[in-house]
Every structure is written in C-alpha cells, then in structure tokens.
Amino acid sequence: RQKRLTPADIAALKGNRPVVSLTAYTTPMARLLDPHCDFLLVGDSLGMVLYGMDTTVGVTMEMMIAHGQAVMRGVSRACVIIDMPFGSYQESKEQAFRSAARIMKETGCDGVKLEGGAEMAETVAFLVDRGVPVLGHVGLMPQQVNTAGGYRSKGHSDKEAEKIRRDARAIDEAGAFAMVIEGTVEPLAREISAAVSATTIGIGASPACDGQILVSDDMLGLFNDFKPRFVKHYAELAEVISKAAADYAGEVRARTFPGPEHTFQPRPKS
C-alpha cells in the first residue's frame, strides 16, 4: 500500500518543486485526481458547486464531514485537507479545536483549512500546537463575502496590500504548513511567497506561488454559473454531459435504446 503525502511533505516541497492541488468532493473524482495531485482539498466551495448555494456561508460541518469521508475513500497518494465551514471556528480557539478534531476523527483526513489572517493567528497556533495541521487562506476570503460586499480581487490599494502582507506573516508565524493566497494582485502574491516559510498555494494569485489550486468543477468546465478571471478550462464537461443526455433522450423517444444487447432474453427451456 502506497504511503500518502503528509502536510509535512507539502511544507517540504517549498523551494523544491511546484505543489499541485485541486478540490474534490466525491469518491470517484478523488480517484481520478489522486494520481496527479499532491493534495486534494475538500473545499466548502462544494456549497456552491454541488448544492447550488449562492455563497459558502450556509455550508455545515455535516456536509464537510460527509464529503470528506467520500474523498478519503478515493485517495491512495494525495494528502487530504478539509475546509472548516463558516461558523465552526471563528468564535474561539477552543471552538476551532473542537470542530477541527471532529473533522479529523470522523474523516481520517490529514489537516484542515480555515480562512483568516492576523485575527485567526492565535487560533492557528492553538490548533497546530495541539496536533492539527493547518492550511491558512488569505487574500480574497469567500466566507467574508457579506462584509466584503462581494468577490473582488484584493491588494490594489497600499492599505489593502499591507493588510494581506500582515495576514500572511501572522499565519506563517502561527505555524500553518501552507497557505492559500486567493484573488490577490500578482506582485503581492509573489512577494509573500518569497517572504513566508509556509508553502503558498495560489488561486488567482501568481505563478511564483509555491503551488496552485483550482476548483475541479471550474477547470473541468462542469460548473459554469460564472467564470472568474483566474479559472482556466482544461475540459468542457458540461457540453459532454449535455450531449450525452440529449443522445439518450433521443434514443429513448425513438425506442432505439435499449438495444438487444441491453436486454435479457429468456433462457432456452431444456
């Protein structure tokens, strides 16, 4: 049995080779992505991508745990990190530990991700000191959509850039093994990647980040409700699925499906 990568392995890849990551929410997708990725993220983006929610704010612990268990059944090599959902960690470091421990115990995953900068640094240190590997997430933080007034890229003003710089430093010093930098102006993401010791994982950030992540359903052209600038389609699966459904519908209506090869004939009587 192959050994899976650990958060320590992901940390050690910094300065070595780029870290490859995608989101996964289900067993079959985890199986397909596992050979190609260093880590798979069970992102709370699943609320929007799988459940049709407008934001990630409504995602629950139960949803993250169910999908985390599904992904764990599909991996043999990639490290698996699970997003802490909105409301499961912001109240206190104790609440955060309770939620993180539950996620790790019930799924067997390798670590958790939480959004936040300087305001979450004490929580990150509390978790790491107690055995929970933490992936940070700075820059554009989707769980803060309601206070940020939408999904806009970050770091354009000096003030905003300085805040993100401070956030990244705080999460780094708190002991996060890596941090996602999302929707952040390229030169700043590049600068942070050089400045922090944690492995930086870019999404809408910079090719100079230590690794990259995308939402699988976005890069596969499966979730097309909207397409942020940072998404690149490596396939057009929505078109493939629509065509398959249309072909099936046509054959059912024409009674050409099922064919003789799909039906059972009575066995000859002896």
Among 22, 168, 213, 222, binds ligand KIV (CB under 6 A): 213
State yes or no: is 160 an active-site residue.
no
Instruction: Return the residues of window 73-112 that contact ligand KIV according to CB under 6 A.
Output: 83
Do β-strands 199-203 and 211-214 pair in parallel, antiparallel, or remain unpaired?
Answer: parallel
- Residues for the chain: how many in total? 270
By CB under 5 A, is residue 83 in contact with Na ion?
A: yes
Place of tokens 């990551």: 21
Can you list the alpha helix ranges (DSSP code H) found in 2-53?
Answer: 7-12, 27-33, 46-49
By CB under 5 A, is residue 34 in contact with Na ion?
A: no
Q: Which entry of 62, 106, 162, 182 is annotated as an active-site residue?
A: 182
By CB under 6 A, is residue 45 in contact with ligand KIV?
A: yes
By CB under 5 A, is residue 44 in contact with Na ion?
A: yes
Contacts of 246 (CB under 8 A, 6+ apart): none
Size of the residue set binding Na ion (CB under 5 A): 3
Judged by beta carbon distances under 5 to 8 A according to partner kind, the member of Na ion, ligand KIV, none in contact with residue 96 is none
* Contact between residue 21 and residue 39 where contact means Cβ atoms under 8 Å apart: yes
For 59-111, the DSSP string reads: --HHHHHHHHHHHHTT-SSSEEEEEPPTTSSSS-HHHHHHHHHHHHHHH--SE
By CB under 5 A, is residue 38 in contact with Na ion?
A: no
By CB under 6 A, is residue 48 in contact with ligand KIV?
A: no
Residue 219, CA distances (Å) to 6, 42, 133, 238 in order: 25, 15, 27, 11
Q: Considering only 41-49, 60-68, 70-78, 260-268, which stretch makes contact with ligand KIV by CB under 6 A? A: 41-49
Among 44, 167, 191, 217, binds ligand KIV (CB under 6 A): 44
By CB under 5 A, is residue 217 in contact with Na ion?
A: no
By CB under 6 A, is residue 217 in contact with ligand KIV?
A: no
* Contact between residue 9 and residue 79 where contact means Cβ atoms under 8 Å apart: yes
Nearer Cβ to ligand KIV, position 51 or 257?
51
Residue 210 Cβ vs ligand KIV, minimum distance, rounded to whole Å? 14
d(CA 109, CA 7): 11
d(CA 236, CA 22): 17
> Would you tell me which residues interact with ligand KIV (CB under 6 A)?
23, 41, 43-45, 83, 180, 182, 203, 213, 215
> Would you tell me which residues interact with Na ion (CB under 5 A)?
43-44, 83
- Catalytic site positions: 182
